[in-house]
Structure 1
Amino acid sequence: MPTTKVSDFSDLRDTFFSYVRDIKYATMITVDRGNRPRARVLLPVWEVVDGLPVGWLAAYKTPVKTAHLAGNPHTTYSYWNPRQNTVHVDALSAWAEDEAAKRHAWDLYTRGGPPGVGYDPVHYWRGGPEDPEYHVIRIEPWRIQLVRGSDLRSTLWQPTGKGVARDAVTDGPGPGVGERVA
């Protein structure tokens, strides 16, 4: 079955949020210095900023995650449910150190992003967003693929133009987190 390709996130936004809301937990994949993948299950929250998806991941700043993201910010977040619906988010991920970003992510977790996805982070970080153990990863997708399990229909989002944190033409390495492709 051919893949439908779109460049406007709004073309798959509702399905993306529906799948994320249904599945909730994602497998985050990073790469170590030896180019070996490492997976862990976490719960990112999502929003749309200037028409583009942005994810936030509340996490402990472990030496492994820190080393992997410092060596290679390219990550994949993969969602799956037993109906075989899947979401694959290829992204650039980096620690967001500023207090405003940490507070923003905290609030998004508390109210749900999308609604129905999130939790009260105080269960893990009792000191609130100022807790020294509370850290946040900002996720800037450059490619999202949705696959519907009932018929294996696939929709692939790859944005183009200004404000896109990725290499819009190839699946190869793109710019660093925060860099924009004109």
Structure 2
Amino acid sequence: MATTVQSFAEIEEEFNRYIRDIVYCSLVTVDSKGRPRARVLLPIWEVVDGRPVGWLAAYKTPVKTAHLKNNPHVTCAYWNPRQNCMFADCTAEWIEDQQVKNEVWELYRKGSPAPVGYDPQRYWSGGPSDPEFGLLRMDPFRVQVVRGQDLKSRIWQP
């Protein structure tokens, strides 16, 4: 049975603990025929005005771009063998603003603890202005954390 929480702060500690422990998520998009497609990626998260915001440094591939153009809804699914899970159902959009790209680049480099944080220069040698550096912003409309030991589930929705 799931419990609904009133503020994200009520699950923030567990949310962050699971992300630091699990690190990678399965990011699910939907194609033009309504079929899901998953890939393993490494988003970082921050809290802005009491709400989680996810950032994903990623190549802006034709498949991801087409999926998001048709349907901006994504799910970030985290799971570990202890059955701890975190799901963030979000709306997503590509960000082109260079200042935001610079800020998130630094968030990856310094603002998020390893192993979640990393130096994106390994993938985009031109830095945050590298034309191949894509940035996806994810704004959750539902976050669920599930504790594996007893399957206690808590859900936040803005």
TM-score (norm. length: structure 1): 0.85
Separation in 1 of the partners of 2:156 and 2:87? Answer: 10
* Unaligned segments of structure 1, at least 5 residues: 160-182
Q: Point out the more displaced range, 63-72 or 102-111.
A: 102-111
Q: Does 1:86 align with 2:107?
A: no
Could you tell me how far 1:105 is from its partner in structure 2? Answer: 1.2
* Cα-to-partner distance string for 1:143-170 (whole Å, 9 max, x where unaligned): 00011110000010111xxxxxxxxxxx
Aligned-partner residue type, residue 31 of structure 1: V
How many positions carry a matched residue from both structures?
157
Higher relative strand content:
2
Give the Cα separation in 2 of the matches to 1:14 and 1:97: 31
Deviation beyond 6 Å, 4+ runs, structure 1: none
CA contact (8 A) 1:112 1:119 kept: no
Structure 2 unaligned spans of 5+: none
What amino acid sits opposite 1:77 in the alignment?
Answer: C
What is the root-mean-square deviation in Å for CA atoms of aligned residues? 0.8
Distance 2:5 2:129 in 1: 39
In the superposition, the TM-score normalised over structure 2's length comes to: 0.97
Percent identical residues: 58
CA distance in 1: counterparts of 2:135 and 2:126, whole angstroms: 15
8 Å Cα contact 1:45-1:112 kept in structure 2: no
More helix by share: 2
2:60 aligned partner, one-letter code:
K
Q: Give me the whole-angstrom Cα distance separating, in 2, the residues matched to 1:126 and 1:52.
A: 32
